[in-house]
Amino acid sequence: MPDPVPAWRVLAACALAVVSCASTPRAPADSCMQQAVDSLDLALMSGDRQHCMASGTIASRCGSASAWIAGYGKELGDLFGPGSFQQRDLAANSAGRQCGVATDTEAGLAACCAEAGY
């Protein structure tokens, strides 16, 4: 039986895969995550609120794991690409994921994000 792959190698491979997509931050148009984000009018929101609402919408429609992947993928892309990595974005993403599983309406998500400070 072969030795299991160390967790750090799996995480490093995943990080490299995500970073390789930094030049194309959009998911395929037919993906659940991209459709969820495209349903929002993000241009009218502050950056923190964008993160909370996008993560919450993805969590609500596609699941928390998808929202986690999208949020961390975006920030890794910002870290190594043209964007600007911000720890506060990760906090807003986390709040959004929690809000997304706690409510099933966009109004409820918006209220939850506002209560969380985003």
DSSP state of 21: T
CA end-to-end span of the chain, whole Å? 49
**What span, in angstroms and rounded, lies between the C-alpha atoms of 58 and 53?**
8
**What span, in angstroms and rounded, lies between the C-alpha atoms of 38 and 15?**
24
Inside any domain, residue 69: yes
Do the beta carbons of residue 57 and residue 109 sit within 8 Å? yes
Inside any domain, residue 17: no
CB atoms within 10 A of CB 47: 14
Flag whether pLDDT at 15 surpasses 60: no
Inside any domain, residue 32: yes
Number of domains in the chain: 1
Instruction: Using the Cα atoms of residue 48, residue 54, residue 87 and residue 28 in order, give the sign of their dihedral.
Output: negative
**Average pLDDT in the 1-7 region?**
61
Range of the domain at 111: 28-115
Quick: pLDDT tens for 66-116: 999 999 988 888 888 777 888 999 999 999 999 999 998 999 999 999 999
Give pLDDT, residue 62: 96
Inside any domain, residue 9: no
| Helices (H) then strands (E): counts for the chain | 6, 0
Quick: pLDDT tens for 22-44: 444 567 778 899 999 999 999 99
Flag whether pLDDT at 17 surpasses 70: no
Tokens encoding 21: 């997509």
Residue 2 — pLDDT band, cuts 50, 70, 90?
low
Inside any domain, residue 6: no
Give pLDDT, residue 29: 75
